[in-house]
Amino acid sequence: MHMRWLAVPFTLPAALLVIAGFPQLSEASVGVGVQGNPVRLGAVAHPGGSYTLPSVAVINTGTEDETISVRVERLSRGPGLTVPPSWVHATGPDVSLSPQQTARIPLGLEVPADAKPGTYLSDIVVVGSANVSAGQANLGAAAATTLEFKIVPGAVPGSAIPGWTWWALGLLVILAAAAIGVRRSSLWARIEQKATTGDSVDHPGGDRA
């Protein structure tokens, strides 16, 4: 699949100005790139559902090692509800990249049960940990790509029966098995008691014979 990369156009002019004023910084640079393709859920989501989003591809375009983190922020313009940041999270460990190294960061989507149906639009922002100091200024790097998905009303497919129902059914099975066991134990106790009583009556008669 052809992958387009987005660099950091909103931080680049400031970086060039600082480097021009501090020539010693030209040997070090920080930069993060992210895929140009949107992160888009392939199917509709439902309130209360958990989903795996397409992973986002990132690259370290600088000369310093980077530890990449992700967050959700509304940068794109257009119609659509804003995605609450708490809904989206990275599902794997922190990603550390050497200069010019690439990686894919897996993402998960957790839709609350009270989520409002509609089309959602926000951005996945990838942020690097490295920075370059210039006097009192610290330059970092970040890049963003669009996040899109749609929520429709209705139960999550495959979960029409709530999870607590299975626990209740399991408890009923255990109680039923216990009741059957108790009844069988009582029955054997009565049989043994009758057999013991019968033996005590027959033995005296036999002795007299």
Least confident of 50-64, 133-147, 182-196: 182-196
Q: Is 206 helix (H, G, I), strand (E, B) or coil?
A: helix
Residue 53 contacts residue 37 (beta carbons within 8 Å) = no
Q: What is the mean pLDDT of residues 29-37?
A: 90
Tens-place pLDDT, residues 159-198: 555 555 556 777 888 887 777 766 666 655 666 666 666 5
Least confident of 19-23, 74-78, 93-97, 114-118: 19-23
Angstrom CA distances, 24 to 17, 19, 21, 50, 194, stand at 13, 8, 9, 49, 103
Look at residue 159 in the predicted model and tell me its pLDDT. Answer: 56
Global pTM exceeds 0.85 = no
Task: Read off the DSSP letter of residue 9.
Answer: T
Q: CA triplet 87, 93, 99: central angle to 5 degrees?
A: 110
Residue 58 contacts residue 125 (beta carbons within 8 Å) = no
